[in-house]
């Protein structure tokens, strides 16, 4: 979690620097200090539009990482696979996978496929 927070913080700092660079490029003044070194980096934007595009991408990445971090935090106390393995009939899950063309490997790990081998030959229209 800490690494994810640090990554988010680094991206937010980069957004701030890019916003400063965009302002400087927009004003047309000569770049000085960290803005000059930032503009000379490989892949650095050369105009205001490129800065804005990079800022938008970084903000989108930050938002995705924040959502990912929130999901991890929310799911800490929940064993997501337990109900699927212990309480659901595997024939229901396998029938659904076949009906929706979802690979069974995405739902059941190889050890569970071996455990539920008896249910693998289920037809897609099977109902409980």
Active site residues: 87
Sign of the Cα torsion 39, 45, 48, 53 reads negative
- Cα 10 to chain centroid distance, Å, stands at 17
């Amino acid at each position: 979690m800490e690494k994810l927070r640090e990554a988010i913080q680094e991206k937010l700092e980069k957004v701030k620097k890019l916003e400063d660079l965009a302002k400087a490029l927009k004003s047309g003044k000569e770049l000085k200090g960290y803005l000059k070194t930032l503009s000379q980096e490989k892949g650095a934007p050369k105009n205001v539009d490129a800065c804005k595009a990079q800022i938008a991408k970084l903000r989108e990445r930050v938002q995705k990482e924040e959502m990912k971090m929130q999901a991890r935090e929310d799911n800490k106390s929940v064993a997501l696979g337990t109900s699927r393995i212990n309480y659901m009939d595997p024939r229901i899950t396998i029938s659904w996978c076949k009906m929706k063309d979802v690979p069974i490997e995405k739902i059941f790990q190889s050890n569970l496929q071996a455990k539920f081998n008896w249910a693998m030959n289920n037809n897609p229209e099977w109902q409980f």
